[in-house]
């Protein structure tokens, strides 16, 4: 009885927003500790986890809720980065104005792009967004060189005006670094600042998911025609979702620039858009945590797997006899180092083919199987009352 009661209460508790947010914040902020065993506890990759987390959370608001597959979100990431770097160059090295401006700027771009692209749905929408993003990318590379500094990428220079900073102090020796009211925003402090931003925007996305606005977006995904015949003008809803997710991407771009103040055109390329789609699908589209899981998996592969070399492999397999060691190393080396894309590709194919709900769904299924297995086993030993077993509390 008590066990059942506790179980139900736990379920209720886990549905409470506050509880979710507390657990989530603790998990995110302790990342430097629990990432240690995975060899990923250094600031550079941790920053990537949370910043691309922001990107994926935002992407999920569009793709997960409305089902509109945008192939152009990298454009907003790039716009955000360029805006932030320009803010560092012209205004101040403080990241607050930079981030606010990058969110506003990408929002403006998202309105323009969404207004055009959302006239179509399905594959045509995807193609329109792709075209827009590639156009931005090519412009950044060529015509807009005065703004984007073309191939070299936009960087800080000593001669930059930095109007607001100059009001308070003289230009120092060497390049200044980005700060948040005096706190340097690289390294671990950069991670913590980005993590706090991600926690805030995660909360916003949680609110959107549970609001009636979110409900309407889900309904649009399910049956857009029905929405129209029920009296909904669907386009403004879609545009809002599009702009919100574009602003998330701009925020991510701004944060990227805040932790490392340079911006290049390659950030806008279609591969970058593809990456966020990959992250979202791999983790679990339309779920709250799935995209974040996808971010961690992909960024982990990108940074850790690609760094493994033959020597690492040899030491890993050193317990085997030499012939086996050599064989294992030659097989494994296909999947690490330069070959990390192959591992990722295989993983992606497996997930899409067998777990359309992403890794998160896989984890839920395993958990369910495990709990039913455990309760069955306990029942066989005869310790528990029969009522407990096989009870399926739904999702």
Partner 1 sequence: MGSKAVLQVTNVLKTFGGLKALNNLNLTIEEGTVHAIIGPNGAGKSTLLNVCIGQLTPDTGTVEFDGQIITGLAPHEISQRGISRVFQTPQIFEDLDILQNVMIPALAHIDGQFTFNAVKDLRHRNEVKRAAMEIIEQMNLGDQLHDRAGAMSRGNKRRLELAMCLVQKPKLLLLDEPTAGMARADTNQTIEILKKIKATGMTKVIIEHDMNVVFSLADRVSVLAQGTIIAEGTPQEIRESEIVKEAYLGGAKI
> Which residues here bind partner 1, judged by CB under 8 A?
211-213, 215-216, 218-219, 221-223, 225-234, 236-237, 240
Give which of 78, 252, 264, 260 is closest to 154, Cα–Cα: 264
CA distances in angstroms from 25 to 185, 199, 249, 393, listed in the order given: 20, 6, 21, 27
Q: Are 272 and 337 in contact (CB under 8 A)?
A: no
Nearer to partner 1, 43 or 67 (CB): 67
If residue 154 lies in a helix (H) or strand (E), which one and from where to where? strand 154-155
Least distance in angstroms from the C-beta of 294 to partner 1: 21
DSSP 292-347: HHHHHHHHHHHHTGGG--HHHHHHHTTTS-HHHHHHHHHHHTTTSGGGHHHHHHHH
Residue 46 neighbours by CB distance under 10 Å: 23
Least distance in angstroms from the C-beta of 62 to partner 1: 16
Burial class for 128, CB neighbours closer than 10 Å (0-12, 13-18, 19+):
buried
Nearer to partner 1, 244 or 329 (CB): 244
Nearer to partner 1, 120 or 221 (CB): 221
Least distance in angstroms from the C-beta of 15 to partner 1: 13
Least distance in angstroms from the C-beta of 103 to partner 1: 17
CA distances in angstroms from 106 to 56, 195, 207, 335, 353, listed in the order given: 15, 21, 22, 37, 34
Least distance in angstroms from the C-beta of 214 to partner 1: 10
Nearer to partner 1, 85 or 227 (CB): 227
Nearer to partner 1, 86 or 248 (CB): 248
The span from the CA of 338 to the CA of 299, in Å, is 15
Least distance in angstroms from the C-beta of 69 to partner 1: 17
Nearer to partner 1, 218 or 314 (CB): 218
């Amino acid at each position: 009885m008590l066990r059942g009661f506790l179980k139900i209460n736990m379920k209720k508790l886990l549905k409470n927003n506050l509880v979710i947010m507390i657990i989530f914040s603790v998990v995110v902020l302790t990342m430097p500790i629990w990432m240690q065993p995975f060899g990923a506890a250094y600031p550079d990759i941790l920053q990537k986890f949370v910043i691309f987390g922001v990107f994926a959370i935002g992407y999920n608001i569009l793709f997960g809720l409305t089902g509109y597959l945008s192939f152009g979100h990298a454009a907003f990431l790039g716009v955000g980065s360029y805006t932030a770097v320009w803010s560092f160059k012209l205004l101040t090295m403080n990241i607050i104005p930079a981030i606010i401006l990058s969110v506003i700027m990408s929002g403006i771009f998202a309105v323009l792009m969404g207004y055009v692209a959302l006239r179509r749905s399905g594959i045509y929408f995807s193609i329109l967004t792709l075209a827009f993003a590639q156009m931005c990318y090519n412009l950044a590379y060529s015509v807009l060189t005065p703004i984007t500094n073309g191939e070299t990428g936009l960087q800080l220079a000593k001669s930059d005006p930095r109007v607001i900073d100059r009001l308070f102090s003289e230009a120092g020796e060497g390049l200044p670094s980005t700060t948040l009211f005096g706190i340097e925003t690289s390294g671990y402090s950069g991670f913590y600042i980005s993590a706090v931003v991600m926690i805030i925007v995660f909360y916003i996305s949680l609110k959107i998911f549970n609001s009636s606005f979110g409900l309407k977006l889900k309904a649009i995904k399910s049956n857009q025609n029905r929405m129209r015949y029920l009296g909904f003008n669907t386009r403004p809803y879609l545009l809002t979702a599009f702009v919100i997710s574009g602003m998330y991407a701009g925020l991510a771009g701004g944060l990227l620039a805040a932790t490392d103040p340079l911006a290049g055109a390659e950030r806008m390329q279609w591969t970058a858009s593809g990456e966020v789609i990959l992250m979202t699908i791999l983790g679990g589209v339309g779920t709250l945590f799935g995209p974040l899981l996808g971010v961690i998996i992909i960024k982990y592969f990108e940074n850790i797997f690609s760094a493994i070399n033959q020597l690492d492999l040899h030491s890993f397999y050193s317990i085997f006899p030499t012939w086996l060691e050599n064989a294992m190393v030659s097989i494994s080396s296909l999947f690490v180092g330069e070959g990390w894309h192959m591992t990722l590709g295989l993983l992606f194919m497996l997930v899409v083919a067998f777990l359309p709900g992403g890794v998160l769904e896989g984890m839920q299924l395993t958990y369910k199987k495990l709990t039913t297995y455990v309760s069955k086993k306990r029942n066989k030993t005869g310790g528990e009352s029969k009522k407990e077993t096989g009870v399926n509390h739904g999702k």
